[in-house]
Amino acid sequence: MTAQSITSRKLNCTVLNPNRYAWRTMVLGLLAVLITGFASEAAAYEGFEGPTVPRWSQESVDLFASLPVQEGGRVKPLDTYAQFAMLRINGQRSFRTPDGERIGPSEWLMDILFYPEIAQHYATFIVNNSESITAIGLTAHQERRDRYSYAELSQARTRLMQMAREYTDIDVAYRTPVEQEIINIAQNLMQFEQMMHFLDFSDHRFAVIDEGIVGDTFPETDGVPLSAVLQRMPGLMDTLRTEAQEHGDESLDQEIAALSRLMSELDTVARFAQGIPLFPGLREDMAEWLTPADLTAAAFAFVEPHEEHIALLAKLESLKGQRGDRIAFQAALADFHQDVTSMANARGEYSKVPFEVFFYRWQFLFWSQWTYVLCFLLATMYWLMPRIQVLHRALPWALIVPTLLLIIGIVLRCIIRGRPPVTTLYETILFITAVAVVIAIIIEFLNRQGIAGSVGAFLGSFGLFLAFRYEAKEAVDTMPSLVAVLDSNYWLSIHVITITIGYAGGLLAAALAHIYIFGKLFRIKEDNKKQYKNITRMTYGALCFGLVFSVVGTILGGVWANDSWGRFWGWDPKENGALMICLWSLVILHARMGGYIRDLGIAITSIILGMIIVFAWWGVNLLGVGLHSYGFTSGIMNIVAIYWIVQSIVIAFGIYVWLRDTGEAMEAKSQNKDNAKQEAADVQA
């Protein structure tokens, strides 16, 4: 069945009976998307006839995935490094090889490291705008958004890098989409080259044909590997120093020339062997892990390498040579894995690596998102078929499942990082979503109307969708080292968590307010005043909940500021945003108490509160000023602006409902007066 026929069938079902065929329509629509997406992905390998990589054993993949590596100031599994490299370059967390097999990030990285001559033909690079391909002088694929191989893009590498350098000088706010795409492609190409050539040194053999001391140090006619060169270099330097002391520097001219050629060859061979620090430091004061390039650089400084590092380097060299024998390769990888993990354990840096592998492998957040989607479909079915009470009763219980998965994911992240649950903007999305849904579940169990449960299912789906979109856009590790101002578990625990709970309460109130406004706008169960009154109570309760935590969180933020910066309040944009939330919430409550606003007024003002929260949460970070500017996220302004525009339209709908209802009430009142006058006149007559 083609995507077009599926679409036609969807339209027919909707026209015949939108309620009866709603579920079928959604399923068919999802199938259409999946079929179309698979066809597009398959087109990337159309005509591919090259060799493919034999699949790795699961044991080898597990060993490779759990290798520790230091990146971004923390030690993590090599699988995490591979995941975000794949996400940045390929736009996905899984990859389809030319032979049609779906592989994960670790296997993808293994193919690149150990079979670069094959991996360069993989359709690895996501290109969102085919105009960028045309701009660098290549022939674009038929699809505007498609994936390209390194072999394709490297044909225009010189022009690509030249254009990327030119566009980098342009301020990010003034770059066109094509210019930004070219910069992204160039950066991804360089990272791929770094991975593809990382183990090139293991294929190289250093052969010294010169006579003399340097030649005697490396007598092997077929050459020696890098590890042997680094191991012998200190002895060579000692011999040369002794020779210089005994016979003078003039006697070493030939030796210095030979040594210079060797060092130049070392520099050429090892320059790509960086970017993946696999060798833990052996001293406690050595915070940075080392790469083969770092070990080679030490040779230039004539620093004697540690025997443990040389042994590790030799074992790493042997891996690529044994790639054809899967049994020998697995044994060599296990040996290398044992040595690296032992060294990392000695530094106290490995204990959480297996935990992180477990976290990403089980994909708690991914399954939470799609379970929330199923809950939202369940809520939709309930509203389409309200007579089926089992759907109503099942909704709050069903919501517990994805919420538990989300909470487990958050807790695991806390254990891995040794931090409270909110340290980055990404984590605020997860935490606020979890808190909002938990509150919605509690409300649903209290009133059993299906409204809070439906809103909770929507917020869970949307919140995790936003988290995954943010993660895909940034394509960097979501558990990074913290900036200095945030490096305090105490203040993170009491201030940031408190203020984000306040955000969750206010956003839930804004979401519930939408139900009230759209229900009134479309006159849904207009005569059921009790139901609308309950929506107002839920909105008001969430509003009060959010206000309490917002006020406490803002005060604690001032205490933190006094501790960190020496002043309680400085009218920083982030502080102003928190203050606006508190003040506007108080305005709503006082206006209600004074009788200035009623149910519809609470709904409209709650939506305005949601707009203020989004400004405090995301908007102030876009200003790039103040002491809280560490949370800047490029490209988010358009999304925030769209949110504000949509919310302004909803507010306009609310005002329209107020004007409409007020007009109808006045008209009805006037009509009643006319009817009363007419009745009085009839009586007198």
Chain centre distance of CA 53:
29
Percentage of the residues of the chain whose pLDDT score is greater than 90: 67
Confidence at 2, pLDDT banded by 50, 70, 90:
very low
Confidence at 110, pLDDT banded by 50, 70, 90:
very high
Dump strand ranges (E) for 344-499.
none
- CA nearest to 341, candidates 331, 354, 332: 354
Confidence at 685, pLDDT banded by 50, 70, 90:
low
Query: Per mean pLDDT, which range of 206-210, 530-534, 549-553 is the poorest?
Result: 206-210
Confidence at 8, pLDDT banded by 50, 70, 90:
very low
Q: How far apart are CA 398 and CA 409, in angstroms?
A: 18
Flag whether pLDDT at 606 surpasses 70. Answer: yes
Instruction: Note the pLDDT of residue 249.
Output: 72
Q: Is 295 exposed, middle or buried (0-12, 13-18, 19+ CB in 10 A)?
A: buried
Flag whether pLDDT at 323 surpasses 90. Answer: yes
Average pLDDT of span 335-352: 96
Report the residue count for the chain.
685
Instruction: Note the pLDDT of residue 623.
Output: 60
Flag whether pLDDT at 36 surpasses 50. Answer: no
Phi-psi label, residue 44: left if phi above 0, alpha if psi -120 to 50, beta otherwise: alpha
> Per DSSP, what are the bridge partners of residue 95?
103
Instruction: Note the pLDDT of residue 635.
Output: 64
Pseudo-torsion of CA 410, 411, 416, 420, nearest 10°? 80
Instruction: Note the pLDDT of residue 672.
Output: 83
pTM score: 0.88
Confidence at 47, pLDDT banded by 50, 70, 90:
low
Average pLDDT of span 124-136: 96
DSSP string, 169-237: TS-GGG--HHHHHHHHHHHHHHHHHHHHTTTGGGG--B-----SHHHHHS--TT-B-HHHHHHHHHHHH
Instruction: Note the pLDDT of residue 120.
Output: 96
Strands 74-77 and 95-96: unpaired
- CA nearest to 349, candidates 674, 611, 673, 74: 74
Instruction: Note the pLDDT of residue 228.
Output: 94
Per residue in 377-414, pLDDT (tens digit) is 999 999 998 888 888 899 999 999 999 999 999 999 99
Give ∠ CA 579-582-583 in degrees, rounded to 5.
Answer: 85
Instruction: Note the pLDDT of residue 77.
Output: 98
Per residue in 487-525, pLDDT (tens digit) is 676 877 889 999 999 999 999 999 999 999 999 999 998
Q: How far apart are CA 553 and CA 551, in angstroms?
A: 5
Query: Per mean pLDDT, which range of 8-22, 77-91, 372-386, 446-460 is the poorest?
Result: 8-22
CA-atom Rg of the chain in angstroms: 32
For residue 226, the tally of other CB atoms under 10 A from its CB is: 25
Average pLDDT of span 222-240: 91
Boundaries of every domain in the chain: 3-43, 78-202, 203-271+292-325, 353-669
Is the CB of residue 365 less than 8 Å from the CB of residue 426?
A: no
Give ∠ CA 66-67-71 in degrees, rounded to 5.
Answer: 110
